[in-house]
Amino acid sequence: MKPYLSLIAFAVLSAAPLSAQQADPIANVEAEAERTHRVAQQLWDWAELGYLEERSSALMVEELTAEGFTIEGGIAEIPTAFVAEWGEGGPVIAILAEMDALPGINQSAKPTRDPIEGKGAGHACGHNLFGAGSLTAAIAVKNWLEATGTPGRIRLYGTPAEEGGSGKVYMTRAGMFDDVDIAIHWHADDENSAAARTSLANRSAKFRFTGVSAHAAGAPERGRSALDGVEAMNMMANMMHEHIPQDARMHYVVTAGGNAPNVVPDFAENFYYVRHPEPHGVQEIWTRLEDAARGAALGTGTQVEWEIIHGNNPLLVNETLAKVMDAKLRQVGGVEYSDEERAWAEAIQESLGDAAKPLESAAEIGAYNKSLGYGSTDVGDVSWATPTVGIRTATWVPGTSAHSWQAVAASGHSIGYKGTMVAAKAMTLMAVELYTNSDLRAAARAEFDRSRGPDYQYKSLLGDRAPPLDYRK
C-alpha cells in the first residue's frame, strides 16, 4: 500500500470510533466524566444558598455556552435562573438542574464529623451532584442529537432555590415549561430507584411579631414581648399536631427571639412549614395556623404579620414514563465501590447506627412501585405543567438521610460522583428514547391529561408574590 493511501486508511479508521462514540449515548456521558467531577466539586466547594447561586449558575452557563447552547438568563425575574437550549425541530425534552445548598450545616469529605470552620452551608441534599449530572446529561444528549442528525431540542433548566425558595414554581408560573414535551429530573439519594413516588404539597411563611421593649426587671409592666407571641403561637401549633391528618406534617424554627434576657424583645420571628398530600389539605391546616398566629398576638398584646416564602404542589407522577425510566436505570446498573470507597463507606456507617443498610444495596436497583413520599419539591409544579419523570441514585452511603452531615460528605466524595454518572446515563438513555419513540410521548401525554382532568387550571400555592430573592440573606 502506498504511504498516502495508508494515511487515508488510518484517517478513516481513526474517525470511525469518534463518530461511533458520539452516536452512543452511554459513551457520550462517560466522555464527560472529568467535567462532571470538576463541576460537582466546584459547586460543593462554593455551597451557595438559594437565590444566591451566582458563581454556581455562572459556571454552568459557561460550560453550556462552550458547548454551543443558547442561553436565556434571569428568567422568571430570578437572576440565577436560566434556560440553555440546543437543537431545532422535533420534540422539546427538558432536563432540570438544581444547585443550591442548605444553611447551618457543613462538613468536609471525611467519613467522620469534621465541620469546615467558617463555612455556613453545605450540600446536604446533593444539589451539587444534581446540577453537574444534569449538565452532563444535557451535553451528552446534544452530542447524540448532533451525531445522529435527529430532530429535537434539548433544554437544561438551571433552577435555583429548591430548598425553601420554590424557584421552579416561579418558572412554571411564568410559563417556562408550556412548550416542553417531557421533563426529566433526578435526585441524590442512598438508593437507586425510578419508582413513581409522589411528594407532599407544602407552604411556608415567616411569622413576624412586634411588641414593646422595656427593661425586663425595672419596668416589666411596660413591655409586650414579641417572643411571648412566638411562643404562644408555637404552643398552639404543637397542640394542633394531635389534630391534623396522619400524612400531614408541620414544623418550625424560631429565627429571631431577642438578644438579651433583660430586654423585653420588641421583635421575634418563627418560620413554619405545612405539608399535606393534597393542596387543599395544606390550605385547611394553614387557615388554622393563621388563626393561631392571630390568637397569639391578641393574647400577648403584640402585633403579627406574615410573609409567604414558598409553596409547592405535590408531584404528579407519570407511570407511563416511570416504567420506561425504570428499565433505563436497570440497563445502566447501580454503583460499584472500590476497596477504598468501601472502607470510607464503612466509616460512615459507624455513624448511622441502626439506619445503616448493606453497602451492597448501592449496586442494586429498587423495585418499581407507586408510593407517597413525605418530602416536598418544586418539581411538583413542573409536573403539573408537562409530563415529568425522575430517578434517584445512590450518591450517598446506604442508610444516609438527606440534610445530614453524612450526605454533605458523600456529595463531595467519589461515591457521590459515581452515583451522579449513573443518573446522567439513565437520563440520557431516557431522552434518546423520547426523541425516537413518538408512541411513548403520546401515551405519556394521554396519562398526563387524564391525571390532571379536563377542567384543570394551574394554581400556585405561593400566590402571586415575587421571588423572595433575599430569603437566605
Q: Could you give the strand order of the β-sheet that contains 303-312, starting from the edge strand earlier in sequence? A: 249-256, 267-276, 201-210, 303-312
> Taking the C-alpha atoms of 358, 362, 363 and 365 in order, what is their torsion angle to the nearest 10 degrees?
100
CB 378 within 8 A of CB 168: yes
3-state secondary structure string across 8-22: HHHHHHHHHHHHHHH
Please give the class, per CATH, of domain 25-198+316-452.
alpha beta
pLDDT tens, 299-336? 999 999 999 999 999 999 999 999 999 999 999 999 99
CA atoms within 13 A on the CB side of 100: 23
CB 244 within 8 A of CB 200: no
Residue 22 is predicted with a pLDDT of: 76
CA nearest to 89, candidates 435, 446, 427: 435
Residue 55: CB atoms within 10 A of its CB come to 15
What is the domain partition of the chain in residue ranges? 25-198+316-452, 201-312
Reading the block at residue 137, the C-alpha cell is 446529561
Residue 82: which residues within 8 A CB-CB, separation 6 or more?
57, 60, 61, 71, 72, 73, 74, 75, 157, 158
Reading the block at residue 308, the C-alpha cell is 409567604
CB 300 within 8 A of CB 261: no
CB 58 within 8 A of CB 46: no
* CA–CA dist 158, 40 (Å, integer): 14
**Segment holding 211, helix H or strand E:** none
pLDDT tens, 392-422? 999 999 999 999 999 999 999 999 999 999 9
Residue 374 is predicted with a pLDDT of: 86
Identify the segments of the chain with pLDDT beneath 70: 1-21
- Residue-wise DSSP of 272-300: EEEEESSHHHHHHHHHHHHHHHHHHHHHH
* CA–CA dist 321, 318 (Å, integer): 6
Please give the class, per CATH, of domain 201-312.
alpha beta
Residue 19 is predicted with a pLDDT of: 57
Residue 89: CB atoms within 10 A of its CB come to 9
Residue 455 is predicted with a pLDDT of: 94
Beta-bridged to residue 83, according to DSSP, are 72, 157
Q: For cell 472500590, what's the residue?
A: 338
CB 277 within 8 A of CB 198: yes
Reading the block at residue 445, the C-alpha cell is 401525554
Q: For cell 449558575, what's the residue?
A: 57
Using DSSP's 3-state secondary structure scheme, residue 225 falls into coil
